[in-house]
Structure 1
Amino acid sequence: MSAVLGWIKSNLVSVIFFVLMVAAVVALPLLSRWLNTGVQEAMTERVSRYRELEKLEKTDVTVSSPAGGEAVSGTVLVNEKLLERYRAVSEAEAADATEVRTLALEHNRKGRGVILPRLFPEPPPAEREVLPERFHRQLEDAYAELLERVNAGGPPSPESVAEDLERHRAQYLSQILAKEVTDTLEPDEAEQLRDVLRKQRMSLYAAQAEGLGMYADMTALNVPIWQQARQPTPMELFQWQWEYWIIEDILLALSEANGEQSVQRAPVKRVISVLPFDDIVAAGGGEASGGAPSGGGSPGMGGGSRRGGGDETAAPKAKAANPSQEVKLDFSRSFTGRYSNPLYDVRWVEVQLVVETARLTDVLDALARRNFMTVIDVKLTPADHYSAARDGFFYGSEPISNVTLTVETVWLREWTAEFMPAAVRQALGVADPKPAAGG
């Protein structure tokens, strides 16, 4: 043993190196495995962080338009600069949408209110019996004033024409033929007199036409008749008001088409009839109701709207308007697909006219410019100047046609609901206004 120790002492360096070599064979693989595990964990963490950064660089986002437009999807790098830009664009779109909404409301309303403010939406209890008749009188006055605004009137009355022709006949007999009124005329003299009186009659008709913008009178507007024995319902009263707004828009649009021209040169010669042919319940039919013209635009409501205010008990569920909600179109109703919904009501009106045939498009364009009105049906038949002249109408020399239009009109509830009686709100499914704070 002492010999071994002596050898080790004399060869200490060699022994140490030998021991280290043996230890390395055992320890180095273990150390390598430990170091490799640490490196792998570090690399895994780095890859994970890199992927997180990559996700931020390639984030899938879907952006909806504040104005209700179509949503846009894409892959972007989400950072503060992007968010600032998004906020700026969103605010600009929201401002544009608000401006469009305001302009649409102004275009539709045109500063209008109701004819008798004390009657709508609900009259004072002490005046419930007297205000309806007062409203009817003011409604008649409003229609008469509307005819004046569009410079409308009728042909000369038969009585005034007969009086003028009799006076002209007496003058012709005494001054040209040197005869008394009671004298018998020769055949050629009688023919001359008939020709003179025919020309004078046409001259009277032409002079009347020259002073008018169009032919129209109260009968063409189907003004409701007051029945003393029967008090109209709140729904009927509001319907009268609503129909005045409709007819006002129609007549003013036709007047705009004519401009300052007289009947002889204007595209619209005569307004034969303007008749809204759906009632309030039909107008508010919504998705579950017909409420639209049938048969390609002809009236399908079972008669004119002035037969009554509809069934006040048949009411859809009240819904609050949501301007950001999309209104789905239903093309089974008309080619526009529009129908009454919580945002707006659709009313149809039949308009019968005599129009210069070549300028019918001017009339259709004027209706579209005036308000949210769309012609959804047109019926055209030739008209005869001579037949019209027999009734006192002088239309000029251009070819004319009898035209029947079915016009779709749209009314934003944002302003009409303000005047709706409770029965109308119920019939249309309009939510009651929220009470004022503290009220």
Structure 2
Amino acid sequence: MKGVLGWVKKNLLIVVSVVLILVFLPAGWIFSSKWNASIKKAATDEFNKQKQALQRASSVKYTLPAVFEGEQTISESRAPNRAVTEFYARQKAARVEQVRDVVDRGTAFNRRDHGLLRPEFANFLPKAPSERMRRQLGLDLAEMVAGTVDPDGTIIRPSVYFSLFRSVNAGPPTAPEDLGASLQEFKTRETDNFVASNADGRISDEQSKRLEQELVARRLGEYAGKANTLSFYINHEAVLRDNTPGWTGVPEPRRTDVTDYPAVTESIGFVWHWDYWVIDDILTAIAAGNTDPATGAATVTGGAVKRVEKIRLSEFAVTESATESIDDLGGWGGGRDQGYSDPRLAGGSGAGAPVGATYTGRAGSTGDGAYDIRMVELTAIVAPQKLPQFFEALGRTNYMTVVDIDLSPVDVWADLNQGYFYGSDHVMRATMLIETVWLRSWTEQYMPDAVRSTLGLPPREQPGADGIEP
């Protein structure tokens, strides 16, 4: 043993080398195997990468997206070809131009001739340059939309809606009291003639009965004559707000003896413009639906819609500070409650119109949406058999769809006593829910920041301080 240890001590370098060889040979084999695997994987990945690049270079996917409903997307993969590439580029550019043209036409159709009620309101919407300008133009707009009356209710400045009624040849019937004087004059004259022609100087029962029949005929003739000069019946009360929850309308006329009306903000001004555009479209469609294609005449007796009893609009209340909001109690009115309560727009909580999508599939608006929706409740006296021509006129006038309708009986004689003559058609009272669509591609230019915020849109700009120049 001493000899072995002695030899080891004398040949220590040899012994250490042998031990290291015995240890490193298996360890080297293990590590080299792992290293070879990693090198092999890296080489394989690089090969696959180069292979895919070559495949992509040898094949290009050409695609033409579908533009029209029912059209299929065209797609093919093939080797790169300049002629094919140029063909697809031209076709894609042509399709983009088609889409742009459709958008432009759709926007023009939706906008019609809508815009600011007066050119100077461009200094009010979307933002007045100063507080003084805001108050002055807000007051001008309020008097234009609501009109003004004296303490007795006599109209001093008519609402702009009276001009709208005239533009579609609509208006009230002949009031029975307005016929009283002329009918009494006729009755007196005819009575005198009968008395003068009778030997006893008295009017006979038969003559008295005939005179009454003539008076009825003359009254009916006056009513019928008026009906044939109007496209449909309507009065100012039909568009006024009636405080039905979830719905709104035109504000009451301003009284000259009231001086504490609150200032009108840009947001309220925008909503009033929007209300006007909606009502304009509805009345235009009624007149168009009542027009005889053969003669071009639009009359009460020949039309589908005889009389508009009420137009309500889904409420759109803009989120503003309490000092700026306009309430229904002595104010101009733009919303019943502070906050966003339009039942037909995203986030709405109103109780009037139904919530959710109708059968059209349009449920409202979102911050990134292309349109907004206002619902209209139209109550009218109609000829049911002619309603399809009114429905078609709605679609010809703008993006409007009837999504619900209820029919109920009408007391024709009671209406006739008030001057409403409907002709020979069978009539009923129809309560219709109409969906109207408004493209932001043109309405957004008039939206104040408060309206944009309510709709989920970013502000137009970030003003300093209170946002109004001193």
| 1:172 partner amino acid | E
- Structure 2 counterpart of 1:335: 359
Partner of 1:171 in structure 2?
189
61 and 88 in structure 1: CA distance in 2 versus 1, 3 angstrom threshold: closer
Which residue does 1:129 correspond to in 2?
Answer: 135
What RMSD over aligned residues (CA atoms) do the two structures have, in Å? Answer: 3.4
- Contact 2:318–2:339 at 8 Å: present in 1 too? no
Displacement after TM superposition at 1:385 (Å): 3.5
Tell me what 1:262 maps to: 299
Output the CA distance in 2 between the equivalents of 1:67 and 1:364.
25
Partner of 1:246: 278
Per-residue CA deviation, residues 167-204 of structure 1 (Å, 9 max, x unaligned), is 11101211134399xx9866544433322221121111
User: 3-state DSSP class of the match of 1:128?
Assistant: helix
CA-to-aligned-CA distance 1:361-385 (integer Å, 9 cap, x gap): 0000000110111111112234344
Residue of structure 2 in register with 1:161 after alignment:
179
C-alpha distance after superposition, 1:116-148 (max 9, x if no partner): 423211223212323222112222442111111
Under a length normalisation based on structure 1, what TM-score does the superposition of the two structures give? 0.70
Residues 410, 387 of structure 1: CA spacing in aligned structure 2 closer, same or farther, 3 A cutoff?
Answer: same
Tell me the distance in 2 between the aligned counterparts of 1:314 and 1:391: 40
Q: Which residue of 2 aligns with 1:346?
A: 373
| Consecutive unaligned residues in structure 2, runs of 5 or more | 1-49, 148-158, 241-249, 292-296, 320-331, 343-354, 463-470
Which deviates more from structure 2 when the two are superposed, residues 185-194 or residues 49-58?
Answer: 49-58
SS at the partner of 2:135? coil
User: 1:109: which partner in 2?
Assistant: 111
**In structure 2, distance between residues paired with 1:191 and 1:416:** 62
Equivalent of residue 418 in structure 1, options 445, 450, 459 = 445
Residue 120 of structure 1 is aligned with which of 125, 138, 154?
125
The correspondence of residues 220-299 of structure 1 with structure 2, limited to 5 A, is 220-222=238-240, 223-226=250-253, 228=258, 229-231=260-262, 232-259=264-291, 260-280=297-317
Equivalent position of 1:392 in the other structure? 419
**Mapped partners of 2:131, 2:56: distance in 1:** 69
Between stretches 388-397 and 374-383, larger displacement belongs to: 374-383
* Residue type at the aligned position of 2:237: T
Check conservation: 2:315, 2:335, Cα contact below 8 A.
no
The whole-number CA distance in structure 2 between the counterparts of 1:93 and 1:275 is 41
Distance 1:363 1:175 in 2: 49
Whether contact under 8 Å (1:133, 1:226) holds in the other structure is no
Deviation at residue 106 of structure 1 after TM alignment: 0.6
Secondary structure at 1:86 match in 2: helix
Instruction: Label 1:133 to 1:177 Cα distance change in 2 as closer, same or farther (>3 A).
Output: farther
Q: 2:102 & 2:115 partners in 1: Cα distance?
A: 21
Q: Distance in 1 between matches of 2:87 and 2:189?
A: 87
Encode CA deviations 1:401-434: one digit per residue, 9 max, x unaligned: 2222111111111211111122211111222336
Contact 1:315 1:429 in 2 (8 A): no
Q: Which structure carries more helix by proportion?
A: 1
Over 3 Å counting, the alpha-carbon distance change for 1:93 and 1:63 in structure 2 is closer
Q: In 1, are the aligned partners of 2:62 and 2:88 still within 8 Å (CA)?
A: no
Specify the alignment match of 2:384 in structure 1. 357
- Structure 1 distance, partners of 2:78, 2:213, is 87
Contact 1:115-1:241 within 8 A present in 2 as well = yes
Number of aligned positions between the proteins: 350
Correspondence for 2:223: 205
Partner amino acid for 2:166?
A: E
Using the TM superposition, give the Cα deviation of residue 71 of structure 1 relative to its aligned residue in structure 2, in angstroms: 5.2
CA 1:315–1:397: 2 relative to 1, 3 Å:
closer
Please report how far the alpha carbon of residue 62 of structure 1 lies from its aligned counterpart in structure 2 after TM superposition.
Answer: 5.9
- Superposed counterparts of 1:57-72, under 5 Å: 64-65=65-66
Distance 1:414 1:86, change over 3 A: same
1:333 Cα offset (Å):
2.0
Structure 1: distance between partners of 2:132 and 2:55: 75
Q: Could you tell me whether the CA contact under 8 Å between 1:312 and 1:424 is conserved in 2?
A: no
Matches of 1:417 and 1:122 in 2, distance apart? 13
Contact 1:65 1:90 in 2 (8 A): no
For residues 262 and 380 of structure 1, the distance between their equivalents in structure 2, rounded to whole angstroms, comes to: 22
TM-score by length of 2: 0.66
Give 1:256 shift.
Answer: 1.2
Amino acid in the other structure paired with 1:274: I
The percentage of counterpart residues that share the same residue type is 29
The residue type paired with residue 101 of structure 1 is V
CA contact (8 A) 1:67 1:93 kept: no
| Letter in structure 2 aligned against 1:272 | E
Gaps of 5+ in 1: 1-48, 283-305, 317-330
Matching residue's letter, 2:105: L
1:184 and 1:238 mapped to 2: Cα distance? 68
Kept after mapping to 1: 8 A contact 2:227/2:422: yes
3-state secondary structure, aligned to 1:230: coil
Give the 3-state SS of the residue equivalent to 2:196 in structure 1: coil
Deviation, structure 1 residue 88: 1.2
Report the Cα distance in structure 1 between the residues aligned to 2:142 and 2:333, rounded to whole angstroms. Answer: 16
Q: Which residue of 2 aligns with 1:100?
A: 102
Distance 1:70 1:332 in 2: 31
Q: Quote the residue 1:402 is aligned against.
A: 429
Asked whether the 8 Å contact 2:195–2:202 carries over to 1, the reply is no
CA distance in 2, matches of 1:419, 1:332: 27
